[in-house]
């Protein structure tokens, strides 16, 4: 089974914030693939389906960002999933809005959701789709910035980035992640 986790925070007040682009990608994949996100398992909203002959799980942890690893570890343990079959989608301050950076390992880079995953998975080696949210202007508190909504001028780039992330994830269902990185990075 392939499994895709979008990181974010539950609740309407967080829905369109920069920190929730991982949830936005999961929602778009669910829409594209006709998968209902109505299952609640292991501190996560889950939708499962069969996409072009591949069983796929879409996962949105509802533990809040800083505890994302709890939900992912519980889901992985129950289904005995391989880490190589998963993809984590999340926001990245160090990447410009509209750009993707795909990686298969690395540090948390200050991202609390990734810190939690690394702690619960006991590894820094897992497939990632990092969604650009850009850094704030000097003087703006990072926590406030990531919990803010995208500016109107960024909406087009945001929608294109979400579409590109979904395309990359779809491509990865049939191709090695390294090939996906080569095709979609940038």
| Per-residue model confidence as pLDDT tens digits over 106-141 | 998 889 999 999 999 999 999 999 999 999 999 999
Q: Where in the chain does DSSP place strands (E)?
A: 2-6, 39-41, 44-51, 54-61, 86-92, 100-103, 127-132
Tell me the per-residue pLDDT of 132-169, one tens digit each, with 9 for 90 and over: 999 999 999 999 999 999 999 999 999 999 999 999 99
Residue 186 has pLDDT above 70, yes or no: no
Confidence of residue 173 (pLDDT cuts 50, 70, 90): very high
Residues 32-79: tens digit of each pLDDT: 999 999 878 789 999 999 998 999 999 999 999 999 999 999 999 999
**In the β-sheet with 86-92, what is the strand arrangement from edge to edge?**
39-41, 44-51, 54-61, 2-6, 86-92, 127-132, 100-103
Q: How far is CA 34 from the centre of its chain?
A: 19
C-alpha to C-alpha distance for 88 and 138, rounded to whole angstroms: 29
Q: How much is the pLDDT for 40?
A: 82
Spatial contact of 104 and 178, defined as CB atoms under 8 Å apart: yes
Residues identified as active-site? 19
Distance CA 176, CA 107 (A): 22
Find the largest Cα–Cα distance for the chain.
50
């Amino acid at each position: 089974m392939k499994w895709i986790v979008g990181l974010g925070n539950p609740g309407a007040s967080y829905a369109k914030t920069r920190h929730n682009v991982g949830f936005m990608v999961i929602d778009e994949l669910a829409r594209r693939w006709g998968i209902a996100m109505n299952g609640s398992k292991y501190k996560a909203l889950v939708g499962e389906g069969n996409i072009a002959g591949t069983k796929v799980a879409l996962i949105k942890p509802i533990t809040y960002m800083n505890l994302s690893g709890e939900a992912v570890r519980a889901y992985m343990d129950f289904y005995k999933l391989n880490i190589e079959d998963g993809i984590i989608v999340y926001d990245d301050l160090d990447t410009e809005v509209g750009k993707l950076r795909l990686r298969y390992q690395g540090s948390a880079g200050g991202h609390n959701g990734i810190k939690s995953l690394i702690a619960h998975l006991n590894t820094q080696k897992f497939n990632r789709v990092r969604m650009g949210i850009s850094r704030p202007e000097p003087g703006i508190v990072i926590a406030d910035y990531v919990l803010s909504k995208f500016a109107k001028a960024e909406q087009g780039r945001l929608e294109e980035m979400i579409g590109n992330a979904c395309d990359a994830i779809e491509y990865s269902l049939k191709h090695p992640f390294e090939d996906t990185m080569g095709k979609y990075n940038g």
